Homo-oligomer: A and B are copies of this chain.
Amino acid sequence: MGGAQGRPMRADAARNRARLLDAATEVFTTRGVGVPTEEIARTAGVGVGTLFRHFPTKEALLEAVMVRRLEEMAVRTARLADESEPPEAFFACFRLVVEQSEGKNEFAQALAAAGVDVHASLHEPTMEIQGRLADLLTGAQRAGAVRPELGLPEFLALLAGTSRAMEQLGADPEPRERIFQVVFDGLRPRRGTSAK
């Protein structure tokens, strides 16, 4: 599955598609989803027509950007999960997802505003990541590293929230690290609770 369509797509077409995705990611992230399509095309170094040949709708472009980010995240999450043991993998993936999600919040809102719910093409990678995160959560909880009462929804909400906090904080690494300390400490089981 994945990119296996009928024809293999011409070299230049593939390059333009990639350029458009890169440009859109960059522009949407830094300047918001309100930027004119024409500007995205210009940033990618192609004409508007090309943009609309590859993505029939501005919304479709937005979606494709998100799908790609989600897929990348899925791959990296999977790799991290394989490399380390449950508790470490859990926290490493938490960091990864938070950092990869920065600037993506607006996308989701824009998409949600457009269609009734999240689009079909987003569903698959979303589910894949969520499944992996659910496994990491349970693993870390079994290992006693994370409070057992937390469910997947709270975990995902914490990811989104931490990402939002980072957006507000800027690039300076020290304050960012302090935010992670707060959240990670908060995730650990309470002494009294587990000890009793």
In the assembly, what is the distance between CA of A168 and CA of B153, in Å? 9
Complex interface: chain B residues within 8 A of A169 (CB):
153-154, 157
Partner-binding segment picked from A5-13, A20-28, A117-125, A175-183 = A175-183
- Of the candidates A105, A158, A191, the one having the most CB atoms from chain B within 10 angstroms of its own CB is A158
How big is chain A's contact interface, by range? 35 or more
Complex interface: chain B residues within 8 A of A46 (CB):
none
Mark out the residues of chain A between 125 and 158 whose CB falls within 8 Å of any chain B CB in the assembled complex.
147, 149-151, 153-154, 156-158
Is there contact, CB below 8 Å, between A150 and B182? yes
Residues of chain A touching chain B, judged by Cβ–Cβ distance below 8 Å, are 31-32, 34, 105-106, 109, 113, 147, 149-151, 153-154, 156-158, 160-166, 168-169, 175, 178-179, 181-188, 190-191
